A and B are shown apart, each in its own frame.
Chain A
C-alpha cells in the first residue's frame, strides 16, 4: 500500500545543531507540505513544494529549509536548532490542490 513515512519519530538535539527530518511518500504525489503542531496553534505551514525543484515558504518558515530533488522526498532542515523549534512536525502530501492530503505519523523534536 502507498504511504507517507516520517523519520525519526522522536529526536532530541542540542541548541545550535543542524537537524534534518525525513519525509518519504510512495503515492507519486506532486504536492508535499511540512507543518508544525504546537499547543494553542493547531498546525502551521512551514514549507511546501508542488514538484521537483520547487519549494515555497509557508507561514512560519524562518529557521527552516527544504529541498525537493525527487518526487518522493521532502526533507526538512533546521539550520541551527533553537528551543522555540521544539514541536511536533507533520509531513503531508496530496495529488493536487483539491484532493485529500495524507499525513505522516509525525516527528516529535525536542531542542535542549
Chain B
C-alpha cells in the first residue's frame, strides 16, 4: 500500500474553512510538505512542517501534525475559488531529498 494516504475529494463553499487530511507511515520523516497543483501546472510548495513541530501557521494556512497518530492536516481559512486545485501531502525520506507523495486531494470551492 501507499506510504502516504489522503482522501481524494473535498467540496466546500466559498468563505468556509477547508481541512485536508493526510496519514503517513514513516516515523523517521524529517519534513512533511503540502503542495498545490493547479490544472496543467507543476507543483507549488504551499507550506511545510518540521517533524518536531506540532503546528505551523502561515496567513490563511494552518498545518497540524500529530506524530503519535502520524496524521497531518492542512486547514485553509476563508477558502476562495482560487484555492480550487489538487493538494498533495508529501513526506521526506530522512535527508535524502526524496519525497513520498499521497494520491492528492481535489478541492472544489463552490461560489
Contacts and interface: CB of A to CB of B under 8 A. Distances in A.
A99 B4 CA distance: 20
Interface stretch (A14-22, A39-47, A60-68, A70-78): A39-47
A90 B31 contact: no
Given A41-B103, A42-B104, A105 B98 contact: no
Interface string A77-106: 000000000000010101011111111111
Interface band, chain A: 20 to 34
Contacts of A35: 99, 101
A106 B102 CA distance: 18
A105 B40 CA distance: 8
A97 B102 contact: no
A35 B99 CA distance: 10
Given A42-B88, A105-B41, A98 B101 contact: no
B88 to A, nearest CB: 6
Contacts of B96: 97
B95 interface: yes
A26 B43 CA distance: 18
B80 interface: no
Contacts of A97: 92, 94-97
Contacts of B92: 97-98
A94 to B, nearest CB: 5
B103 A101 contact: no
B42 A42 contact: no
Interface of A: 31, 33, 35, 40-45, 48, 50, 58, 90, 92, 94, 96-106
11 contacts: A31-B97, A42-B101, A42-B104, A43-B99, A45-B100, A92-B99, A97-B92, A97-B94, A97-B96, A98-B95, A101-B97
Interface of B: 2, 4, 6, 30-31, 35, 41-45, 48, 88, 90, 92, 94-104
